[in-house]
A and B are shown apart, each in its own frame.
Chain A
Amino acid sequence: MSSFTAITLTTLAKDLRLEWRSKDAINSMLFFALLVVVIFSFSFDPTAEESRRIAGGLVWVAFLFAAVVALNQTWAREMRNAVLDAYRVSPAPANPLFLAKALGNFIFVSILQALMAPLFTVFYNLRPLGPAWQLLPVAMLGTWALVVNGTFFAAMSLHTRSREVMLPLLLFPIAIPALLAMVQATNAILLGQDSAKFWIVLLVTYDLVFTIACLLLFETVLHAE
């Protein structure tokens, strides 16, 4: 195993262990997403057809807001006791740290989605009319789109005074194309009228472009004062 892979996996394992012990990110995300589901279901009383039309937007906006909670936690852990400095003085390259953080967030948000999906289905009486299996690649690609940029911008806002406000300000505008693709793809699958393929290809392209850009720029962000 190369040192790059070894450092990525060790950092990921360390982050999962930290989260398992503190449960900071998962608990906050879960409560937040749960509140969104419950409040919206009480606010509207949609028919099954209306639900299919609004569910894509609702689900992804809920996950986007909930993901921000996890993304803020990612680097907050590294700032306590200035542990990030220990990484910065080490000879380890920057990118394994970034990849491990992005993968960790991907796992946390995926767990959230797995837990929330049945609730969304029940509360909004959802039954996809299109190929339901396509929801899986949409969820995976969409989640990666959110966490890869989120992890990067959370690192960028580390040294700002109000980083918890800064992250959504930086992340949301850049996430708009991905969010649009996620919502449209989900709606297409739920309504079964159009193909979601275009939106899935758009998500793949978005993920590739932003993953490469983040990997190229992360070293500068990590070593910024």
Chain B
Amino acid sequence: MSQTQSPASLPAVVVADLVKQFGRFAALRGINAEFAAGRLYTIIGGNGAGKTTLLRILAGLARPTRGTISILGTKNLNSIRRQIGYMAHPSLLYDELSGMENLRYFAKLYGIEDSRCAEIICKVNLDPALARPIAQYSQGMRQRMSLARTLLNDPQILLLDEPFSNVDAQSANLMVNLLSTLRNHGTTLFLVTHQVALLDGIADEFVAMEAGRIISRTREINP
């Protein structure tokens, strides 16, 4: 582990007895955990382990069947939506619009100035003047633009679901460096990925999930 960060006095996220059922299937089976602020948590586990469900609940996109979550000291997620950034497996972008058009639209939802859009597009190493629609972007460009949308509101909590899937090595490294910088500036990151090697030496903690439970939390990748 190369990075050490002094944790803030209050945990950024507290999850208590979290259960999520889809019909008879329990995606989460009673998760209890605390996550300190300003850290990069890599959530790992096989398919169906509950990683995406956990992220969607933290993002406020799914309601827990039972249990509570507290983010930045509040249980009312509506009051802290501005502080959360969510990047899903799909791009969450309109294919017919250019990157800049997409970001301008989402900026308006957060009451953010247009100038921030160009700034954030440059941050992910894309050209703000690129006029072609998202549908014509490569997968790597699309993922980076998706990350730009997620960072638009300068969130304190960043939830990233498979951000490196189908991304070339260069784009993935660029994204990892950006995420590492954000963590160093105090952002708390939850990152679901199967490409754990990319985060070796970067992530503060590896949270392993299996069958809807957290089975281990380690500072190194388990062999």
Q: Which residues of B from 18 to 60 have beta carbons under 8 Å from A?
A: 59-60
Number of contact residues on B: which range applies? 20 to 34
Contact of B108 among A6, A85, A88 (CB under 8 A): A6
Cβ contact within 8 Å between A85 and B81: no
Closest to B159 in A: A89
Distance of A225 Cα from B133 Cα, bound (Å): 30
Cβ contact within 8 Å between A7 and B109: yes
Chain B 94-112 interface mask (CB, 8 Å, partner A; 1/0)? 1111000100011011110
Tell whether A161 is near chain B: CB-to-CB under 8 Å: no
Contact of B96 among A21, A89, A92 (CB under 8 A): A21
- On chain A, the residues within 8 Å of B106 by CB distance are 86, 90
Tell whether A40 is near chain B: CB-to-CB under 8 Å: no
Tell whether B175 is near chain A: CB-to-CB under 8 Å: no
A20 to chain B, nearest CB (A): 9
Contact of B60 among A82, A83, A86, A88 (CB under 8 A): A88
Given that A14-B97, A18-B96 are known contacts, is A90 also in contact with B88, CB under 8 Å in the complex?
A: no
- On chain B, the residues within 8 Å of A81 by CB distance are 90-95
Chain B 53-92 interface mask (CB, 8 Å, partner A; 1/0)? 0000001111100000000000000100110101010111
- On chain A, the residues within 8 Å of B96 by CB distance are 17-18, 21-22
Cβ contact within 8 Å between B93 and A83: yes
Closest to A88 in B: B61
Chain A 78-117 interface mask (CB, 8 Å, partner B; 1/0)? 0011110111111110000000000000000000000000
B111 to chain A, nearest CB (A): 6
Cβ contact within 8 Å between B109 and A92: yes
Number of contact residues on A: which range applies? 20 to 34
- On chain A, the residues within 8 Å of B97 by CB distance are 14, 17-18
Closest to A14 in B: B105
Cβ contact within 8 Å between B109 and A90: yes
Contact of B92 among A7, A14, A22, A82 (CB under 8 A): A82
Cβ contact within 8 Å between A89 and B108: no
Tell whether A3 is near chain B: CB-to-CB under 8 Å: yes
Tell whether A53 is near chain B: CB-to-CB under 8 Å: no
Tell whether A205 is near chain B: CB-to-CB under 8 Å: no
Closest to A77 in B: B94
* 25 A–B contacts, CB within 8 A, in A order: A6-B108, A10-B105, A14-B97, A18-B94, A18-B97, A22-B96, A80-B94, A81-B90, A83-B93, A83-B94, A85-B59, A85-B86, A85-B88, A86-B86, A86-B92, A86-B149, A87-B109, A89-B59, A89-B81, A90-B81, A90-B110, A91-B82, A91-B109, A91-B110, A92-B110
Q: Which 9 A-B pairs have the closest CB atoms?
A: A91-B81, A92-B109, A86-B92, A90-B109, A82-B90, A10-B108, A81-B90, A21-B96, A89-B86
List chain A positions with a Cβ less than 8 A from chain B. 3, 6-7, 10-11, 14, 17-18, 21-22, 77, 80-83, 85-92, 225
Can you name 16 extra interface pairs (CB under 8 A) apart from A89-B61, A91-B81, A225-B62? A7-B109, A10-B109, A11-B105, A14-B94, A14-B105, A18-B96, A18-B97, A81-B91, A81-B92, A82-B90, A86-B92, A88-B61, A90-B109, A91-B78, A91-B109, A91-B110
